[in-house]
Amino acid sequence: MKLPRSRRITRRGDFQRVRKLGQSIRGKHLVLGYLADENLPEPFKLGLITTRKLGNAVTRNRFRRLMRGVIHRTGEKITHGNWLVIIARHSAAEAESEQLEKEWKWLLHKAGLMRPKEEV
């Protein structure tokens, strides 16, 4: 599943803005950076960061594919008006989809970015 271009963070300045003005939470496999923005026309904007430390191109693309699937399954549970940046840690290269999804939900919950169940 490909996120529409309007929902992706693509510019370096936007990544830096989330990093400098936002907050972050670390997990075992992922680091979530987030910044609230009420003026955002989209429900959320998302950026994925996978460095070469994660592995070769095949490994990095596999991680991105798995995370896009996780986001596709859980995207409607995210509160509206947030910039999100996901940074893959070294251990994410060996993680399975279920582990990534569980940690993603935990990070969203811990950051207060997950809508209550009755709203979904």
Q: In the prediction, which pLDDT does 43 show? A: 84
Residue 2 pLDDT: 65
Quick one: tokens of 65? 């594919």
Mean pLDDT of 87-116: 92
Looking at residue 25, its pLDDT comes to 96
- Domain locations along the chain: 5-111
Look at the alpha carbons of 13, 19, 23, 28 in this order and tell me if their dihedral is positive or negative: positive
Q: What is the pLDDT of residue 118?
A: 60
pTM: 0.88
Residues 6+ apart with CB under 8 A from 34: 18, 22, 23, 24, 82, 83, 84, 85, 111, 113
Separation of alpha carbons 93 and 97, rounded Å: 11
Q: Does domain 5-111 have CATH number 3.40.50.2000?
A: no
Query: For 66-73, what is the mean pLDDT?
Result: 91
Tell whether the model's pLDDT for residue 53 goes beyond 80: yes
Q: Distance between CA 90 and CA 5 in Å, rounded?
A: 27
